């Protein structure tokens, strides 16, 4: 049962024949040791339960963080696409403005030549 007992051996002398022999002495189990072991076992069970709860909480947090990470990565990808499309639109607009500027310069240069 997980209990440990001590065995003490003593030498006895028969009062009648004066013969000596060995015999075991009764020993008391130390209740404090048994109680301490039980307390340790109970404490270990409590600690194990706390670890299980902590593990569950950590797993839940990890799942939540993974979901949040996936959502953020999606948002980043969407924002990147929007930024690329805006950059492309701005490039097109800048090219159009350059062409318009070039046309206007040609028009003004041509009109100045005809005035001379």
Average pLDDT for runs of 10 along the chain of length 116:
64 83 67 72 92 94 97 97 96 96 87 68
**Alpha-carbon gap, residue 83 to 73, rounded angstroms:** 15
pLDDT of residue 67: 97
Q: Which two tokens stand for residue 113?
A: 């030549």
15 part of a folded domain: no
Give the per-residue pLDDT at 29. Answer: 56
> From the CA atom positions of the chain, what is the Rg in Å?
47
- Alpha helices (H) in 1-116, listed in sequence order: 31-115
Residue numbers of the domain that contains 109: 36-115
Nearest to 37 by CA among 8, 81, 65, 2: 2
Considering the domain boundaries, does residue 64 fall inside one? yes
In a domain, 97, yes or no: yes
Task: Judge contact between 46 and 37, C-beta under 8 A.
Answer: no
pTM, full prediction: 0.48
Structure token pair of residue 110: 């041509």
In a domain, 1, yes or no: no
Residue 56 lies in a domain: yes
Number of domains in the chain: 1
Can you tell me the distance from the alpha carbon of 100 to that of 107, in angstroms, rounded to the nearest whole number?
A: 10
- Between CA 61 and CA 67 the distance in angstroms is 10
- For residue 50, is it left (φ>0), alpha (ψ between -120 and 50) or beta? alpha
Instruction: Give me 42's structure tokens.
Output: 């109970």
Q: Is 108 domain-assigned?
A: yes
What confidence score (pLDDT) does residue 13 get? 82
Task: Please report whether residue 2 resides in a domain.
Answer: no
- Please indicate, yes or no, if residue 41 is contained in any of the structural domains: yes
């Amino acid at each position: 049962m997980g209990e440990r007992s001590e065995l003490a051996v003593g030498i006895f002398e028969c009062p009648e024949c004066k013969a000596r022999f060995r015999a075991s002495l009764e020993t008391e189990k130390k209740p404090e040791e048994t109680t301490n072991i039980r307390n340790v076992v109970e404490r270990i069970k409590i600690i194990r339960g706390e670890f299980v709860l902590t593990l569950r909480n950590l797993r839940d947090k990890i799942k939540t963080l993974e979901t949040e990470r996936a959502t953020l990565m999606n948002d980043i990808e969407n924002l990147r696409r929007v930024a690329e499309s805006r950059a492309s639109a701005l490039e097109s607009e800048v090219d159009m403005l350059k062409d318009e500027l070039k046309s206007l310069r040609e028009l003004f240069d041509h009109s100045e030549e005809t005035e001379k």
